[in-house]
Amino acid sequence: MDDDSPYARWEQRTEIPLFLASLIFLAAYAARVLTVDMTPVWRSVCWVTLLSLWLLFAGDYVVRWHLSGQRFPHFARTHFLHTVVVILPLLRPLRIVPLYDAVQHRQGAPRLSLHARVIAYASLSTLLLGFAGALAVYQQERGAPGATMRTFGDAVWWAAETISTVGYGDITPVTTGGRAIAMGMMAGGLALLGAVTGSFSSWLLQIFSHESDKRPPES
C-alpha cells in the first residue's frame, strides 16, 4: 500500500506499541505456565492481561481491515500473518519485519541489506517461535499420562530438536494438542531454515561474483 495511505499511517503508529504489547502477552503467558502454585489473585491478573491484550490485537485487526477497504475474505488472504497472529497471539512477536520498517521510518536511518534483514528476521523468529512453542507444548504435556516432557527444560530441548528438524525422538508429545503444536513448529522451522540457508547462499554467490568481476582478464 501507499506510504501515505490511512492503512500505512496506522501501521507506522501502532506497530511498535503492539509489538511491546505482544511481549507483555508472552511474558504473562509464560508466568501462567511456569509459575508453580500461583495464587488465585495472580492467576486472575494473568488471565485478565491475556484477554485484554488479545482484545487489543483483535481490535487492531478490525481497524486494519476497515482501513484496507477490502472484503474480509480477500483481506484475510492478503494479510495472512495478521490473521494468524489474531488466532494465535503468541506468534505476534514474529511480526519483526513491519516493526523494523516502522522504526526505520521514524529514525530515517539507513536500512540493512536484504540478506542481513532475512537472516536477522529468521534468527529472531526462530528464538521467539521456539520459546513460544516450548511454552505451549509444555502446558499441553505437563502431567499427561505417559508424557516424556516432564520439565520446561525438556520442552525447550524438544523445541530446538523440532525447529532444527533434527528430531532425536528422545522426547515426543503424547497429547493431541502437543502433536498439533509440533506440526506447526515443524512447518515453521523448515520455512525459517530455508530462508536463512537461501539468503546465506545468495550472499555468498554475490560475493564470489563480485570478486570474479574484480579479477583482471587473463592474457
- Predicted pLDDT at 210: 61
**Predicted local distance difference test score (pLDDT) of residue 203:** 62
Say which CATH class 112-219 falls into.
Answer: mainly alpha
Residue ranges of the chain with per-residue pLDDT less than 70: 1-3, 93, 96-119, 195-196, 198-219
Query: What is the predicted pLDDT for the residue at 184?
Result: 86
pLDDT tens figures, 6-16: 888 888 888 88
The mean pLDDT of the chain is 81
Query: Is there a contact between 132 and 33 (Cβ–Cβ < 8 Å)?
Result: no
Grid cell at residue 35: 509459575
- From the CB of residue 35, how many other CB atoms can be counted at a distance below 10 Å? 12
d(CA 101, CA 104) in angstroms, rounded, equals 5
Could you give the CA distance from residue 25 to residue 89 in angstroms, rounded to a whole number?
Answer: 8
Burial class (CB in 10 A: 0-12, 13-18, 19+), 16: middle
> What is the per-residue pLDDT for 87?
87
Q: Identify the pLDDT of residue 50.
A: 95
